[in-house]
């Protein structure tokens, strides 16, 4: 179930490299993000995402690949774009 639109989906080279190394597809993480499974975020960020869903603010999810590398997914407030990136690329 999609809770919001992703808009244009883009990824940083670092995130693409980590996904390739882990043998995972971006869709696996995007499906969780758009369904409201925010992954490994703090309780404060989880609550903020729920508020953001209702009020049209930016959404953040954090996941780990099978190799243990952290990935972030950010959807812009206007839902025009979703970016997959590594935390250090923010």
The whole domain housing 61 covers: 8-89
In a domain, 46, yes or no: yes
In a domain, 3, yes or no: no
Number of domains in the chain: 1
CA end-to-end distance (rounded Å), the chain = 28
Hey, how many other C-beta atoms are within 10 angstroms of the C-beta on 88?
A: 9
In a domain, 43, yes or no: yes
DSSP state of 39: B
In a domain, 47, yes or no: yes
pTM recorded for the entire structure = 0.95
In a domain, 71, yes or no: yes
In a domain, 2, yes or no: no
The 10s digit of each residue's pLDDT in 66-85 is 999 999 999 999 999 999 99
Distance (Å) of CA 9 to CA 21, 34, 68, 72, 86: 20, 12, 23, 13, 15
Confidence bin at 1 (pLDDT 50/70/90)? confident
**The pLDDT of residue 16:** 97
- Enumerate residues 6+ apart whose C-beta is below 8 A from 54: none
In a domain, 1, yes or no: no
In a domain, 24, yes or no: yes
Tokens of 52: 């953001």
């Amino acid at each position: 179930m999609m809770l919001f639109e992703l808009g244009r989906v883009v990824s940083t080279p670092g995130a693409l490299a980590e996904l390739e190394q882990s043998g995972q597809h971006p869709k696996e993480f995007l499906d969780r993000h758009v369904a409201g499974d925010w992954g490994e975020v703090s309780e404060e960020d989880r609550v903020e995402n729920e508020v953001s869903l209702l009020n049209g603010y930016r959404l953040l999810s954090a996941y780990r690949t099978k190799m243990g590398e952290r990935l972030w997914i950010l959807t812009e407030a206007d839902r025009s774009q979703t970016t997959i990136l590594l935390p250090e690329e923010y």
